[in-house]
C-alpha cells in the first residue's frame, strides 16, 4: 500500500466516493463536479498506480480486486483525515486560539488599546499577541495574522483594505501661560526631523522644501516630546498631536505621498472566525474616527 500512502488526499477522496456510489453520476453529484471530471480523475489515478481499480459498465461500475483492497485500506485513512479537518474547521469557527497582530506602537497607545482590550474581554477564549513595531513583518511567512499599517501601497500578495488617509500637520509647542504656540523667532524656525533622509524627504521636505531640519529623532514619541518642549517644530500625525494639549497645529493637514491606513491579513487565515471578527472590529473603529485620522477635527479626541 505504498502507492496509497503516496496519493494526494484529493485522489483518495475521488476514488472512495466512486467506490461508495452506485454510479459515476452519483459520485459526481456528491463531489459537486461533472461526470467526465470524475472519470478523468479516476483514470489518471489508475495510470499512476499502473493498475485498474474500477471496471466500467453501462449500468454502473464494479471494483476490481485491487480496487477493493485499496478502498478497504483507504477508508480508515479517510475517516482520520475527515476528523482532523472537522476539528480544524470547528476551531476556526470559534473565537479562540492565538491571534497575532502587528501595529505601530503609537497607534496602539493613542487609539487602538481600548478597542483591543474590549475585544479580548468579549472573547475570553482568544489570546492576543501584539507586535508593536514599525518593522515590516512578512505576513506571507506567517509572522502575523493581521497587520495594521501606514503605507502608500502594501505588497500585492497580502489581502486587506485601505480605510482612510493618514494626515499630518505641522505642530509647535503650546505655551502653558498663554495657550498659544510657543515658537522660535519667525526668521529661524528650527525643524525636528527623522534620523532618516528618506523619511525626512517623504514626511517633511516634499511638502515644505525650505524646511531647515536642525535636530533629528528616530521615534515618534521622542519627536513629539521634543516638539512639546519647544526644541523645534515638526510634522506629526493629526490624530496623535491634535489631542495633545502641549502641541498646537501650525498648518493645514496634508497627506504625504498619499499614505493611508491599511488593515492587512495573511491569505490563509482571512476566513478564520477570530481574524474576521478582529478585522471587522478594527475596521469599524478606524472608520468611525476617519475624520480624526484625516486631520479634519482639530483638537477633538478620537474614541
> pLDDT tens across 188-225, in order?
678 999 888 888 898 889 888 888 899 999 888 899 99
Length of the chain, please? 303
pLDDT tens for residues 75-121?
Answer: 777 777 666 655 554 455 556 788 889 888 888 887 899 999 999 99
Q: Given pLDDT bands bounded at 50, 70 and 90, which one contains residue 177?
A: very low
Residue 150's closest CA among 203, 210, 222, 94? 203
Beta-bridge partner residues of 101: 130, 146
- Cell reading at 230: 519647544
Average pLDDT over residues 4-29: 72
What is the pTM for the complete model shown?
0.62
55/121: higher pLDDT: 121
Task: For residue range 264-281, list pLDDT tens digits in order.
Answer: 887 777 788 888 899 999
| Residue located via cell numbers 477564549 | 125
Distances, alpha carbon 39 to alpha carbons 45, 70, 105, 203, in Å: 10, 17, 56, 61
pLDDT at 165 over 90: yes
- What kind and span of H or E run contains 130? strand 126-132
Strand order in the sheet with 146-151: 126-132, 97-103, 146-151, 260-265, 159-165
Q: CB count, 10 Å around CB of 12?
A: 19
Look-up: residue for cell 498619499? 258
What value does the mean pLDDT take over residues 4-18? 69
Amino acid 185: pLDDT: 44
Amino acid at each position: 500500500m505504498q502507492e496509497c500512502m503516496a496519493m494526494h488526499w484529493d485522489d483518495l477522496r475521488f476514488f472512495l466516493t466512486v467506490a461508495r456510489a452506485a454510479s459515476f453520476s452519483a459520485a459526481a453529484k456528491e463531489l459537486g463536479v461533472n461526470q467526465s471530471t470524475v472519470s478523468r480523475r479516476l483514470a489518471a489515478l489508475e495510470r499512476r498506480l499502473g493498475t485498474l481499480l474500477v471496471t466500467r459498465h453501462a449500468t454502473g461500475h464494479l471494483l476490481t480486486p485491487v480496487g477493493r483492497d485499496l478502498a478497504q485500506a483507504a477508508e480508515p485513512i479517510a475517516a482520520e483525515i475527515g476528523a482532523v479537518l472537522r476539528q480544524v474547521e470547528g476551531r476556526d469557527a470559534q473565537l479562540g486560539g492565538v491571534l497575532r497582530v502587528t501595529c505601530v506602537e503609537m497607534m496602539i497607545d493613542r487609539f487602538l488599546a481600548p478597542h483591543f482590550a474590549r475585544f479580548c474581554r468579549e472573547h475570553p477564549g482568544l489570546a492576543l499577541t501584539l507586535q508593536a513595531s514599525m518593522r515590516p513583518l512578512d505576513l506571507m511567512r506567517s509572522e502575523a495574522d493581521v497587520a495594521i499599517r501606514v503605507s502608500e501601497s502594501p505588497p500585492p500578495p497580502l489581502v486587506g483594505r485601505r480605510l482612510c488617509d493618514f494626515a499630518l500637520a505641522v505642530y509647535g509647542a503650546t505655551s502653558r501661560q498663554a495657550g498659544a504656540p510657543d515658537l522660535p523667532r519667525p526668521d529661524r524656525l528650527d525643524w525636528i526631523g527623522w534620523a532618516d533622509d528618506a523619511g525626512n524627504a517623504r514626511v517633511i521636505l516634499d511638502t515644505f522644501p525650505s524646511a531647515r531640519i536642525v535636530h533629528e529623532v528616530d521615534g515618534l514619541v521622542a519627536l513629539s516630546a521634543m516638539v512639546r518642549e519647544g526644541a523645534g517644530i515638526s510634522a506629526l500625525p493629526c490624530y496623535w498631536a491634535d489631542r495633545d494639549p502641549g502641541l498646537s497645529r501650525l498648518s493645514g493637514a496634508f497627506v504625504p505621498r498619499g499614505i493611508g491606513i491599511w488593515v492587512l491579513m495573511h491569505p490563509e487565515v482571512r476566513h478564520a472566525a477570530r481574524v474576521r471578527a478582529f478585522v471587522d472590529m478594527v475596521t469599524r473603529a478606524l472608520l468611525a474616527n476617519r475624520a480624526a485620522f484625516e486631520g479634519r477635527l482639530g483638537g477633538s479626541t478620537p474614541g
